[in-house]
Amino acid sequence: MSAPFDRSLTGEVEAGISRDFAVSPQAGDEERVVESALRPHSLRDFIGQPKVARQLALVLEGAKRRGRPPDHVLLSGPPGLGKTSLALIIGSELGTAVKITSGPAIERSGDLAAMLSNLGPGDVLFIDEIHRIARPAEELLYMAMEDFRVDVVVGKGPGATAIPLEINPFTLVGATTRAGLLTGPLRDRFGFVGQMEFYEPAELQLVLARSAELLGVELTDDGSAEIARRSRGTPRIANRLLRRVRDYAEVEADGRVTRAVARAALALYDVDELGLDRLDREVLEALVTKFHGGPVGVSTLAVAVGEEPHTVEEVCEPFLVRAGLLARTPRGRVATEAAWRHLGRPVPRGGIPLGGVTAVPRDPGSSSEPLFDA
């Protein structure tokens, strides 16, 4: 049996989606090495997420005073907001070891049993993308979380027997980008659930200031503000853009990251004022120029930009919808007035016909009849 802890994290990259752009919230293998050097090691150093951090501090302090492991912790939210950092901080605050794996890496219940049996008293087991764990392993996890015991099945068929195996008390920290995909029995076994929120620009400036100090980058306040407002509210993206701007500043300027340097560098890397990258703008351009603002089906829109529908729907649309540039309707995708203005195009007479394509109750199986084929 291979060692599950040694397997690389598949992380938050879903199957079929690959995006090597400056503002992708996903982290590549090389970037994980850089991120590890920038991660905070205590809740005091952790920036942002004040409600989650405060609640978690109370949970950990109460557990330390009782001398027992804290309740199992579930961290939910979009990628790049600090779920892994908080998991490592939990181990650091408790003074215990942290074992790291990911849901897709646990293919069999035997893999999970091996991990659990190797945990020391009070250790933290961190499972990233826990919603993708195999079902047999998930069912084994139920008993481990509640009774700190697993049943190892020996043999097959009528002669199979279950041998109970006691394990050391531990704390499970699960991270997920899709809390809705967690089964009810698994979700109910977590004593603390923290919902991670997107960062405000002011918080991102604090993140950038800390990272700049660790990286030895001279970052001005206006340069920090310029990077922060293009980072989509995500610290991972902010740190990535800081490293790219640093490269530009060292090669093309005097090494200082000012607003002018940041603007020039981000323009070179195709990151505009709202944080949109090349693919985001291509989606909006196609929607506005080729389909007159929509409504248009996601499949048609994906063909127009030369991408897979899954990529457009899962990678581009969440931020475009959150930024108020695109609307999802029963008849298809529609560009909002903000999208037309951002692209520098005049808004159609009479405004955007969102009222004509708002969601209305439909009978199951009825056709939405999109203007363009979905």
Annotated catalytic residues are 83-84, 128, 177, 236
Is 268 annotated as belonging to a binding site?
A: no
Distances (CA, A) of 216 to 90, 210, 257, 352: 27, 10, 11, 48
Is 189 annotated as belonging to a binding site?
A: yes
Is 341 annotated as belonging to a binding site?
A: no
With beta carbons less than 8 A apart as the criterion, state whether 100 and 5 touch.
yes
Is 161 annotated as belonging to a binding site?
A: no
Is 236 annotated as belonging to a binding site?
A: yes
Q: How far is CA 159 from the centre of its chain?
A: 45
Is 200 annotated as belonging to a binding site?
A: no
Q: What are residue 174's DSSP bridge partners?
A: 74, 127
Which of 242-251's residues contact partners 24+ apart within 8 Å by CB, and which partners?
Answer: 242/208, 242/211, 242/212, 242/215, 242/217, 243/34, 243/215, 244/22, 244/269, 246/215, 246/217, 249/217
User: Which tokens is 118 given?
Assistant: 């190797």
The gap between the terminal CA atoms of the chain, to the nearest Å, is 46
The closest of 140, 143, 145 to 170, measured between CA atoms, is 145
CA-based torsion, 257, 262, 265, 270: positive or negative: positive
Is 38 annotated as belonging to a binding site?
A: yes
Is 135 annotated as belonging to a binding site?
A: no
The closest of 94, 149, 151, 163 to 126, measured between CA atoms, is 94
Is 44 annotated as belonging to a binding site?
A: no
Is 132 annotated as belonging to a binding site?
A: no
Is 84 annotated as belonging to a binding site?
A: yes
User: Which tokens is 291 given?
Assistant: 């389909």
Is 111 annotated as belonging to a binding site?
A: no
Helix (H, G, I), strand (E, B) or coil at 290: helix
What's the rounded Cα separation, in Å, for the pair 138 and 148? Answer: 14
- Binding residue positions for ATP: 38-39, 80, 83-85, 146-148, 189, 199, 236
- Numbered residues of the known binding site: 38-39, 80, 83-85, 146-148, 189, 199, 236, 328, 333
Binding residues for DNA are 328, 333
List the binding residues for Mg(2+).
Answer: 84
